[in-house]
Amino acid sequence: MELSVIGNSSSAADSAAGGCSAGSCGSTDDQLAHLPEHIQEKVHNHPCYSEEAHHYFARMHVAVAPACNIQCHYCNRKYDCANESRPGVVSELLTPDQAVKKTKAVAANIPQMTVLGIAGPGDPLANPQRTFETFRQLTEQAPDIKLCVSTNGLALPACVDELAKHNIDHVTITINTVDPEIGAKIYPWIFWNKRRIFGRKGARILIEQQQKGLEMLVERGILVKVNSVMIPGVNDQHLKEVSRIVKQKGAFLHNVMPLISEAEHGTFYGVMGQRGPEPEELQDLQDECAGDMNMMRHCRQCRADAVGLLGEDRGEEFTLDKIEAMDIDYDKAMKVRAAVHAGIEQELAEKQAKKARLSSGAVAEEPAKQYRPVLMAIATSGQGLINQHFGHAKEFLVYEASAKGVRFISHRKVDQYCIGNGTCGEKESALAGSIRSLQGCEVVLCAKIGFEPWEQLEAAGILPNGEYAMEPIEDAVRAVYQEMIATGAFDKTRPGMAEGRLSSDAQAIA
């Protein structure tokens, strides 16, 4: 495995952004501190961008944009499976009126909902009427909801002025490459100027429009996040270059996501056997691309119509017929929402203050630098607590404990395709999938765990721990790390760890 020192490839961008290189920020509390104030203000209660906030606030997406103007090799427009959970897959298409109604219903019932996004199932900007009608109505009727939109970027330059009008402060552009050669391996065709354009020529146009759109948004002071799909052997190394360029141009986040590729999905990559990245590969690249932007890792690849706190889908409660039956007094709801938001802000502030007090003490009493960092996986359903049963976890939060403190690393999704309907997956493979997704972790903290998974985890060299049920994640991770030091866990070499990944901190020390 290649070990490169983080921050090297993007040192220019890093120092421009405040001189805090990846991994050395220590505790995750500082994640927003280096950003300019107006950006902090915009992102601090956005669940996709803020580590703290994503435990408390919620977002939703409405599916109003079915049409798309490009083809990506990781997408299959036919696919729609109720058990599937990845971007671009939705079950219920809404008209703008229905979407507005649904948004208001959810906002009234889940006051934590602060962000409404349009992400698909096609490209929002390839459906300008439907997308902008939804935004226009919401800006008018529900001014306390933030709006965001994600796009492939092809139609972006043409839409920037319209976007600016609707007061949208977050735009996500999916940029997988800046090289038409590589682009041709990702995008077989685009629809441009009334024609379908294939291969390199199409990819070149797409790349030009993406870059132009990015620049135009930044000029207008609209926040831009860039998403990239990591496709091993296609753009994995190249994404470092992408990262450098988009940050230089003013994107405030660069988020690398794994390719999801199963033959069952019928995508080009799926059928051709293109693999997705291993969790460790993904994390290495994320570390390299993150720069000082650690908090972006909270963004998940959520269902385009997901409702509820991040990672938890409450869409079932808000189907069309159920919404029709609801009578929403939004003015009243807005007052309740404001009160709930104030309460959460206060709780966050108190937590922050408490952590500031605690972090003044060292993590370990002994000179801890000789101990390697440890990755721990957490099963949680929110609130920043260890409160989920291992078997119920659809994803794990991975934290790193080291001499420098505790920091959030990533989300690891568990492969859970179609569990339960018996047609396309088995229970055993679900457990195996969970364990595979925990690769590189040494401990898994959960509220409860069954006997069988316990044994298998142990066999895989991962220590299950249910002793910190209902306790705050970071405190528990810190405590377990200290226990490991106290019980001499680091004196033994761990099988399989010899060539294991070193975190940035370890490299910095070494």
Partner 1 sequence: MALSIVESCVNCWACVDLCPSEAIYATSTHFKIAPNKCTECEGDYANPQCASICPIEEAILDSLGRAMNPAGSLTGISPEKLEAAMQEIQAR
Number of residues that bind partner 1 (CB under 8 A): 26
DSSP state of 82: T
User: Which helix (H) or strand (E) covers residue 62, if one does?
Assistant: strand 58-65
Smaller CB separation from partner 1, 75 or 289: 75
The answer to whether 66 contacts partner 1 (rule: CB under 8 A) is yes
Orientation angle between helical segments 96-109 and 128-141, nearest 10 degrees:
40
Supply the DSSP symbol for 289: H
- 332 interacts with partner 1 by CB under 8 A: no
Residues 15-44 that bind partner 1 (CB under 8 A): none
* Binding track over 94-123 against partner 1, x by CB under 8 A: ---------------------------xx-
Residue from 74, 132, 189, 408 in contact with partner 1 (CB under 8 A): 189
Q: Does 433 bind partner 1 (CB under 8 A)?
A: no
Smallest distance, partner 1 to C-beta of residue 191, A: 4
Give the separation between CA 413 and CA 304, rounded to whole angstroms: 16
End-to-end CA distance of the chain: 16
Pick one of 188, 250, 391, 433: the residue that binds partner 1 (CB under 8 A). Answer: 188
Among the listed residues 127, 274, 283, 301, the single contact to partner 1 using CB under 8 A: 127
Q: Which of 12, 16, 33, 272 binds partner 1 (CB under 8 A)?
A: 272
Q: Does 396 bind partner 1 (CB under 8 A)?
A: no
Tell me if 77 contacts partner 1 by CB under 8 A. yes
Long-range contacts of 482-487 (CB under 8 A, 24+ apart): 482/363, 482/364, 484/371, 484/374, 485/364, 485/366, 485/368, 485/371
- What count of other Cβ atoms lies within 10 Å of the Cβ of residue 423? 7
* Contact stretch for partner 1 (CB under 8 A) within 65-73, 222-230, 395-403, 471-479: 65-73
Give the integer Cα–Cα distance in Å for 145 and 140: 10
User: Which residues in the 398-417 window bind partner 1 by CB under 8 A?
Assistant: none
| Of the candidates 171, 167, 253, the residue with the CA atom closest to the CA atom of residue 214 | 171
**C-alpha pair distances (Å), 328 with each of 104, 132, 490:** 7, 23, 57
Stretch that binds partner 1, among 44-52, 111-119, 261-269, 412-420 (CB under 8 A): 261-269
Asked if 271 touches partner 1 (CB under 8 A), the answer is yes
How near is the Cβ of 208 to partner 1 at its closest, in Å? 20
Nearer to partner 1 by Cβ, of 78 and 492: the residue is 78
Closest CA to 161 of 222, 248, 119, 205: 222
Least distance between partner 1 and beta carbon 6 (Å): 36
Long-range contacts of 130-134 (CB under 8 A, 24+ apart): 130/64, 130/65, 130/95, 130/96, 131/64, 131/65, 132/162, 132/166, 133/96, 134/62, 134/64, 134/96, 134/99, 134/100
Q: Is 357 an interacting residue with respect to partner 1 (CB under 8 A)?
A: no
Amino acid at 113: M
Residues that bind partner 1 (CB under 8 A): 66-69, 71, 73, 77-78, 121-122, 126-127, 129, 188-189, 191, 194-196, 263-264, 266, 268, 270-272
